[in-house]
Structure 1
Amino acid sequence: MLVFVTHVAAARLFADAELSDFLNTYLSRSGYLGVSFFFVLSGFILTWTARPDDTTARFYRRRLVKIYPNHFVTWLAGLSLMIWAGTAINAGNTLPSLFLVQSWSPSFGVMMGTNGPSWSLACELLFYLSFPLLLLWLRKIPAARLWTAAGLVAVAVWVVPLISQLLPEDPVAPFQPVSWWKYWFTYFMPASRLFEFVMGIVMALIVQKGRWIGMSRGHAFLLLGLAYVLQVALPDSWGLVAPVVLPLGLVVAAGAVADITGQRSVFATRTMVWLGEVSFAFYLVHILVFEYGPIGLVTHPGAEHARGTLVSIGLIAVTFALSLLFGWLLYTLVERPMMRRFSKPRKKPDKAVKAPAPVS
């Protein structure tokens, strides 16, 4: 939903220029927070649920079945909509995204592919491929030094925008006041985002090994709120990712501790759990609804780019409802059945043992 809000802010739907500027200034990076949360949470959950009897092949199988069927369906949908809209189709804007390698390219057209949000799956693919080895290494860290490891990961996160300062200043990125090269290197390139995944792994080990500092969810969220203010305020590539990674690790860990100690949470309600279940599918479909649905119709070149406040709110509400509907359909008809059928290898039936013939 944070990513959805970011795209609403970037669309500048409102005729009131001050309102559009306000939303774009203060909410356009909320989705950046959401993506970082997803990456940190991935590392935490995969570590939390890792089984000692699991194999690398089985792990890869589960991860591939989890993300690729949804991706393939939305890739086909995006390709079909591009053809319908008369968009030029070529190998660059189709094949890299099909194989989830598009984010390694600094070309905007290649990276957005047929369905823009799938860029983050290219990062997740790197995370999944690296996880068995990362977990093996990180588990060797003595429990007393895990917080030191978390601090080193947090420092590494800040090194990424520091290195990006060596990159060219032109051209300027389409979404943020930063050069495209810095933007791509800091935000989109999979290797640069690996540290957020590692932060999640380290935080899970901290909780598992009894090294949690006792921070409450409320204090963790307060720290995250302050970090988001910093994320909005910092210039250039400094505010794209780095400020929120450690606070997000604290939020995820505090939430896990609250859960295992039986504390009540709004996130445990039936509605929130359902929204969580469909959130991956929602994320994958929402930009297609943005681009080819009601908002796309009023923001395409030649159309009026700003409508009255009530009309704009209506467009946002309809777009959200359609995204949720298509996300639910994708989850129900693709993601859940594929996980049930293919996430585990089928058990081979036991061969029947013939009883010996009776002796007369």
Structure 2
Amino acid sequence: MLSVSGEPDRPRLDSLTSLRFFAAVGVVAVHVEGTFPTVGAVGGAAELGYTGVSFFFALSGFVLTWSARPVDSRWDFYARRFARIWPAHAVVTLAAIVVAYVAGVRPVWAALPLVLLLVHVWAPPPSWHYAFNGPSWSLSAEAFFYALFPFLIGAAAWPAARLRRAAALVVAALVIGALAVVAVVPDTAWGFLLYLNPAYRIGEFMLGMGLAVAIRRGWRPHWPIAVPVAAVVVVYAAVAWLAPRDSEGQIPRVLADSALLPAFLALIAVAAGADLDRRRTLLRCRPLVWLGERSFALYLVHASVIKLLAAALGGGRPLSPGRWPALAAGVLAVSVAVASLLFAVVERPAERWLRRRLTRSGRKAPVR
């Protein structure tokens, strides 16, 4: 869940910042559909919004690798990551306690320390994974990626052939791991092992890292950005309406994530290449970049907005496909407004304040 800015020697990649907003919209859509379900093409499209998390994980690996500098110490890296995600996470977690009581939901108090420490996704009780603010499970996964990043980034210096072999190994591990779990483990356990499990999801993060190394070394995909966008739309539609479903009538999340990941990586590569080549694209327009900069806050607050709406309406209820888009748009608009407040009052000022005090150099590190 990272914004994308340039270092002194790294140009800004505004298109990637804009894309984060669209990934966040997908996550908002799936959570609206979970509370206010609908049917038909609208429901099928909203149902796969969780694949936005796969995009975020790959983009996170790309951004951190793109902006990494040899002079960075591990301490400074960890301090900047803490400053980047923890203040807004902590504030929204505490606000979620109030939301829970308003919505008539009893908080899982035992999980609170683990949630604040961002390790709750590793806890055995399934109810702890989504405790307080459900989307924060992915921040717990990101914290695991951050912990390993200073050790993984050494691979950026490997020769190209070795990096290609490593990327192939990561892909093979993802595929073989998924097949092994599907073959041996009941589908009721797939959700943790192949969706929540940071040890599995780090593969997406590492592929994003490898892509950034290739871009930093001069590789450019010179396709029009419409090509990967079309690929995302076509694969998304194919999965939504043609993929098999499990015993609970759901499309296996690992299937949707795996099918869309290559298209997501292509989209990241083309968008980054377009920015580096200074090609004009709609993604570089200021309103979309503005929304992308607030996408982390949007990701954090939207679940609470949905809970409050459900409480105000007397509980979630099925909606017709004709009414659902209007409700989803309303949730998105309110969530963006709340996210903008969180961004302006907590996220950005707290990040700057903590970076000045926690980084060893005491410099005002650029926000990314």
TM-score, structure 2 normalization = 0.81
Q: Which residue number in structure 1 is paired with residue 286 of structure 2?
A: 270
Shift of 1:297: 3.3
Compared CA separation, residues 183 and 80, structure 1 to 2 (3 A): same
Compared CA separation, residues 281 and 134, structure 1 to 2 (3 A): same
Q: 2:53 aligns with which of 35, 38, 41?
A: 35
Q: Which residue number in structure 2 is paired with residue 154 of structure 1?
A: 171
Q: Which residue number in structure 2 is paired with residue 258 of structure 1?
A: 274
Q: 1:194 aligns with which of 187, 202, 207?
A: 202
Residue identity opposite 1:250 in structure 2 = A
Q: 2:71 aligns with which of 40, 49, 53?
A: 53
Bigger Cα displacement from structure 2, 267-276 vs 92-101: 92-101
1:143 paired to 2:160: yes
Compared CA separation, residues 192 and 348, structure 1 to 2 (3 A): closer
Q: Which residue number in structure 2 is paired with residue 325 of structure 1?
A: 337
Shift of 1:283: 0.7
1:297 paired to 2:312: yes
1:267 and 1:191 map into 2 onto residues whose CA distance is 32
Shift of 1:99: 1.6
Q: 1:98 aligns with which of 99, 113, 116?
A: 116
Equivalence map 1:306-325=2 (5 Å):
306-307=318-319, 312-325=324-337
1:75 paired to 2:90: no
Preserved contact between residue 217 and residue 254 of structure 1 (Cα < 8 Å):
yes
Q: Which residue number in structure 2 is paired with residue 357 of structure 1?
A: none
1:348 and 1:319 map into 2 onto residues whose CA distance is 40
Compared CA separation, residues 247 and 310, structure 1 to 2 (3 A): closer
1:332 and 1:60 map into 2 onto residues whose CA distance is 23
Preserved contact between residue 6 and residue 28 of structure 1 (Cα < 8 Å):
yes
Residue identity opposite 1:182 in structure 2 = W
Q: 1:131 aligns with which of 149, 159, 162?
A: 149
1:207 paired to 2:222: no
Preserved contact between residue 97 and residue 113 of structure 1 (Cα < 8 Å):
yes
Shift of 1:109: 1.2
2:271 and 2:318 map into 1 onto residues whose CA distance is 40
Shift of 1:79: 1.4
Preserved contact between residue 40 and residue 200 of structure 1 (Cα < 8 Å):
yes
Compared CA separation, residues 77 and 245, structure 1 to 2 (3 A): same
Q: Which residue number in structure 1 is paired with residue 139 of structure 2?
A: 121
1:227 paired to 2:235: yes
Unaligned runs of 5+ in 1: 15-19, 170-178, 350-360
2:58 and 2:85 map into 1 onto residues whose CA distance is 17
* 3-state secondary structure, aligned to 1:264: coil
Q: Which residue number in structure 2 is paired with residue 218 of structure 1?
A: 226
1:160 and 1:78 map into 2 onto residues whose CA distance is 35
1:105 and 1:180 map into 2 onto residues whose CA distance is 17
Q: Which residue number in structure 2 is paired with residue 245 of structure 1?
A: 261
2:239 and 2:324 map into 1 onto residues whose CA distance is 27
1:223 and 1:314 map into 2 onto residues whose CA distance is 27
Residue identity opposite 2:273 in structure 1 = V
Residue identity opposite 2:270 in structure 1 = A
2:276 and 2:211 map into 1 onto residues whose CA distance is 15
1:348 and 1:37 map into 2 onto residues whose CA distance is 33
Bigger Cα displacement from structure 2, 218-227 vs 187-196: 218-227
Shift of 1:42: 0.6
Compared CA separation, residues 341 and 116, structure 1 to 2 (3 A): same
Spell out, residue by residue over 1:9-28, the C-alpha distance to the aligned partner (whole angstroms, 9 max, x if none): 333455xxxxx243332331
TM-score, structure 1 normalization = 0.83
2:239 and 2:199 map into 1 onto residues whose CA distance is 21
Spell out, residue by residue over 1:241-270, the C-alpha distance to the aligned partner (whole angstroms, 9 max, x if none): 211222222211111111010101111111
Bigger Cα displacement from structure 2, 314-323 vs 276-285: 314-323
Shift of 1:195: 0.4
Shift of 1:39: 0.6
Compared CA separation, residues 96 and 43, structure 1 to 2 (3 A): same
Preserved contact between residue 9 and residue 24 of structure 1 (Cα < 8 Å):
yes
Report the identity percentage: 31
Q: 2:301 aligns with which of 265, 276, 285?
A: 285
Shift of 1:320: 1.7
* 3-state secondary structure, aligned to 1:165: helix
> Which structure's relative contact order is higher, taking Cα pairs within 8 Å and 6+ residues apart?
2
Equivalence map 1:161-180=2 (5 Å):
161-166=178-183, 168-169=185-186, 179-180=187-188
2:108 and 2:305 map into 1 onto residues whose CA distance is 22
Compared CA separation, residues 248 and 288, structure 1 to 2 (3 A): same
Unaligned runs of 5+ in 2: 1-24, 247-251, 364-368
1:297 and 1:115 map into 2 onto residues whose CA distance is 19
Residue identity opposite 1:228 in structure 2 = Y
Spell out, residue by residue over 1:180-202, the C-alpha distance to the aligned partner (whole angstroms, 9 max, x if none): 31122111111111001001100
The number of aligned residues is 329
